[in-house]
Amino acid sequence: MQDSQGYWSATLALLTKVLVIWFIVSYLAGILLAPALNNIMLGGYPLGFWFAQQGSIYVFVILIFWYAKKMGEIDRQFGVEED
C-alpha cells in the first residue's frame, strides 16, 4: 500500500460522516427534536415518535449497507480490497 495516510484519511472522513448521521437520527431526531417533530404526522403517527421507535432502526440498517459500499470503494481506490 503506497498511500497509507490517504487511506486512513478517507476512512476517518467516512467514519465521521456515519457518526454524524447516527447522532442526528438517534439523538437529535429521536430525543431532542421529538416534541417539535411530533407536530408532523407520518402514517398516522407523530414523526418524533416514529423516529424514536422505528425510523432510527431503518436509517441504521441503511447506514450499515452504505458504509460497507463506501468502504469497499475506498479499499479499491487504495488497492487494499479483499478478493
Name the residue with higher pLDDT: 56 or 1. Answer: 56
**What are the domain boundaries of the chain?**
4-77
Say how far apart CA 16 and CA 74 lie, in whole Å. Answer: 14
Averaged pLDDT, 50-73: 91
Per-residue pLDDT band for 25 (boundaries 50, 70, 90) equals confident
pLDDT over 90 percentage in the chain? 48
pTM: 0.80
The pLDDT value recorded for residue 60 is 93
Distance, CA of 51 to CA of 11 (rounded, Å): 28
